[in-house]
Structure 1
């Protein structure tokens, strides 16, 4: 068993000894690409989405130097009749080259990444096949090995983009090395039966072309048939919650939100498994190195970035053009490039159908809320302070101040064409209260009483703040919003929470000459007959 050549199946054996969610269907897709024009596959997903687990599974399956049948015989790839023939035909039949680029970078030292890989892999190949000349290049060595054995290689490169992300100065030499192996020529076809790469970023673009042009790419934006095999599907998370007796609704609130075409909800496996094992729902994102980079990117001074951050934190989905992104961490032309990077890093979820991105879940929203307060940009600081002040004014019952701030946000942030749109007021509310994350959890269209409350801010466990039940009225008065809250019994869903509940009615009269906004705030009180009344705060 070598470091790069035929690493064996011990990595996957350790995974199988733990609680393993079956992703072996990925092998079936890979087998379909062997010895075809689709033989080069690149999967990019955020950190901690199970990419390395998949790479180790493929190593164990293809490596000819071990017998992995016991690791796979109870998995989907072996049990599915449609895939069984392919499974048997390719099981442990290939020489495998495995490069974990994060580890390789740490070992290369002063020798340099590319020379280190060439020397190490050539040495292992010549040790395995002594008949090969010692002075041959890596490509010549690979060709000689195939000619000697009659077997082509399967190459698996985990975290392929680590050198580009972590050491941009080696990018040119590293991409040249990859081109030498996987360029569009007969050499690649003669050496490789298939190749599989994982990374966070898609293939690096070189001008208008991909630097490794023959790879088929399956990113978080265009996952296609690979969508269900990297990350947990909702069905898988439901089964885990049932097995460990965990609250699925809370799991969904904390870790759902990544929308991948074809499977919809995808969850971060690392966070889900930690929450399952500990029964603790919190942000595990801080334990990834990706977390430390958020400040750097959202601090970039592009027009509209501060407003975009406020919209995202308020729960508003923002439009993003993902096409121009250069697939690196240094080439940023505008706000769209920053947002596209955040999508690939996992900070944002992207819906390709609508072309919009949003913060996917409570875990990531918490990271954004923590980070945005450190952004050293005057506009961002102003927005945070205004939102903090609005929440305080709401809690203190300062109705005029609340109405004035909502009116200000509505006027400043809404295009004239959409100013009188009924949905714009809801977006304005979310934008105005965007810093709620410090104290609250937000729910929209919360089923309660005899209807659905527009927006509810429920205090976190240790927060001293009251719950806020907000009802919006278009072209009416705020008293009508309060009346509807009481009539429809919206606070009923919150009585068990046990704390104070404020009823907040916000209205906009579009017929008024000055586009007047109004606000009424009352404290909810429950009567013996279960009727809900309100008491003015002042």
Structure 2
């Protein structure tokens, strides 16, 4: 008789694991490998504080990180801790959290609803996905609480209200991959409906007795208006991680600890150093200005497991994703990518980004998107982006090598760097040569006047803008200097002098140098003392290619010393 019972459909239904309603520990147990598990359970203490201060309206969290940065395992950990159960929960017993007094204050105390939006919206439209959420949740609640009475099985908000009233327990909602519909590039109307669905669900926490919401995604919250109901969420991102910084996957110390486990299995110290070069580089700053070097967790784990250092990102997916945006080529985007590949940093403004994949209107929007998706790191102090490590750099290089236009772009970047070096050394002959090469490579091989010459020279000196602020037509009181390069803080650190560029068209370089002196252009550099470079570039339109030593460009560079008076 007992054997008949345990083989019955009724028994199987009763013993099914819950996926959505109070799932307990099975998800976290299934998702970790003891050899590579990093204990992040102290994160829960922060959430407990938020629950205690629920009236402060800070307990609705949106945590956005790149893919494979531990969002799902964090969600599973919270599910395991807060899910109501009458059974013992051994998972946390020897974890870091257990060393804190009253660590178990909220252990298994709440009704937890865990939704992974992939299950509902990857293959279903919004309306069908919403129905599936309610249907599956009601089925699981009934399995656990057979006498449960629903006021409206199709209204998720009403289900939360009923849960609180019938169980006398408050609710926690955990949503993984909240931004799936946004990333699927659904039409604007569908995205708005979905976001309004979330707003309706969470705008009145007292009505539904929701004490904590934790949502994960790759993108920060997409707002539907100035007064969006999602404004009640606190956001933690790769740009502004705040107290979440040390919990956004592996810190340097955690990688060291993890490596020590594997070193006993025969891995060399050199392997560790190589691993760090390949997978480190994300720099995060918390609310106390503490800095963390963050490593790509998925790649670290795979490198240790397979004992091989290589690229573990999905190359096909990555190249397609990057190419789609880089080929837009806003504002000389390709040249900036070239600088990034050469381990340089680029200043950006992150404020215009609309938190989606489609509202891209500028180079800054593309770079901000690449920060959120993990393809670029972000230096918050200097507001600069950079390629964080060798693994990511390899992806950019693959794009560069697969496109002939990129090879041309990279050559121009090398020329620009060499041009700046030659200028700072005062090597006028080399400067003229590089300008001649840039002229020969350009699409417009004839400059019609000084204005077109000025534009071409500015492009050639593109690299200088890493270390200088460029000003055009600077007034000296007696005339206007064509271009003045004022060193930035980075330039001053490198002891780079300011330099003035005077342009001449069908005249002589000597006349340009004399004009700089006669009109007192160096006096315009009133804040600068010491070395100043005077650079005059002349373009001779009339010279013929059969002339001896034929060259359109000539250059003179003089160094003057400006002393304090």
1:244 aligned residue (259, 262, 270): 262
Q: Map 1:119-130; keep pairs closer than 5 Å.
A: 119-129=135-145, 130=147
Confirm whether residue 22 of structure 1 aligns to residue 29 of structure 2. Answer: no
> What is the match of residue 96 of structure 1?
112
Q: Decide whether the 8 Å contact of 2:319 with 2:398 is kept in 1.
A: no
Confirm whether residue 329 of structure 1 aligns to residue 396 of structure 2. Answer: no
> What is the match of residue 194 of structure 1?
212
> What is the match of residue 352 of structure 1?
380
Q: Which moved more, 1:314-323 or 1:175-184?
A: 175-184
CA distance in 1, matches of 2:233, 2:182: 17
Question: 1:273: Cα distance to partner?
Answer: 0.8
For residues 369-392 of structure 1, give each alpha carbon's deviation from its aligned partner in whole angstroms, at most 9, with x where no partner exists: 11234468x5x452135569999x
> What is the match of residue 336 of structure 2?
308
> What is the match of residue 62 of structure 1?
82
Q: Decide whether the 8 Å contact of 1:63 with 1:92 is kept in 2.
A: yes
CA distance in 2, matches of 1:41, 1:25: 17
| Change in CA separation of 1:144 and 1:256 when aligned onto 2, cut-off 3 Å | same
| Change in CA separation of 1:196 and 1:403 when aligned onto 2, cut-off 3 Å | farther
Q: Secondary structure, in 3 states, of the residue corresponding to 2:461?
A: helix
Q: Secondary structure, in 3 states, of the residue corresponding to 2:245?
A: helix
Q: Decide whether the 8 Å contact of 1:41 with 1:217 is kept in 2.
A: yes
Confirm whether residue 276 of structure 1 aligns to residue 304 of structure 2. Answer: yes
> What is the match of residue 519 of structure 1?
none
For residues 466-525 of structure 1, give each alpha carbon's deviation from its aligned partner in whole angstroms, at most 9, with x where no partner exists: xxxxxxxx99xxxxxxxxxxxxxxxxxxxxxxxxxxxxxxxxxxxx81589xxxxxxxxx
| Change in CA separation of 1:185 and 1:52 when aligned onto 2, cut-off 3 Å | closer
2:242 aligned residue (224, 248, 260): 224
> What is the match of residue 513 of structure 1?
556
The structure with the largest alpha-carbon Rg is 2
Q: How many residues are treated as equivalent by the alignment?
A: 419
| Change in CA separation of 1:28 and 1:108 when aligned onto 2, cut-off 3 Å | same
| Change in CA separation of 1:47 and 1:175 when aligned onto 2, cut-off 3 Å | same
> What is the match of residue 9 of structure 1?
25
CA distance in 2, matches of 1:288, 1:113: 29
Confirm whether residue 43 of structure 1 aligns to residue 71 of structure 2. Answer: no
Confirm whether residue 174 of structure 1 aligns to residue 194 of structure 2. Answer: yes
Question: 1:105: Cα distance to partner?
Answer: 2.4
2:293 aligned residue (265, 281, 305): 265
Confirm whether residue 384 of structure 1 aligns to residue 401 of structure 2. Answer: no
Q: Which moved more, 1:401-410 or 1:29-38?
A: 401-410
Consecutive unaligned residues of structure 1, counting only runs of 5 or more, are 392-399, 429-473, 476-511, 517-538
> What is the match of residue 277 of structure 2?
253
| Change in CA separation of 1:47 and 1:209 when aligned onto 2, cut-off 3 Å | farther
1:34 aligned residue (51, 54, 67): 51
| Change in CA separation of 1:171 and 1:150 when aligned onto 2, cut-off 3 Å | same
**What TM-score, normalized to structure 2?**
0.67
Q: Decide whether the 8 Å contact of 1:41 with 1:215 is kept in 2.
A: yes
Question: 1:4: Cα distance to partner?
Answer: 1.4
Q: Secondary structure, in 3 states, of the residue corresponding to 1:71?
A: coil
Consecutive unaligned residues of structure 2, counting only runs of 5 or more, are 1-16, 418-428, 439-458, 465-469, 471-482, 497-531, 534-554, 560-565
> What is the match of residue 484 of structure 1?
none
| Change in CA separation of 1:201 and 1:66 when aligned onto 2, cut-off 3 Å | farther
> What is the match of residue 493 of structure 1?
none
CA distance in 2, matches of 1:346, 1:218: 15
CA distance in 1, matches of 2:313, 2:431: 34
CA distance in 2, matches of 1:72, 1:231: 19
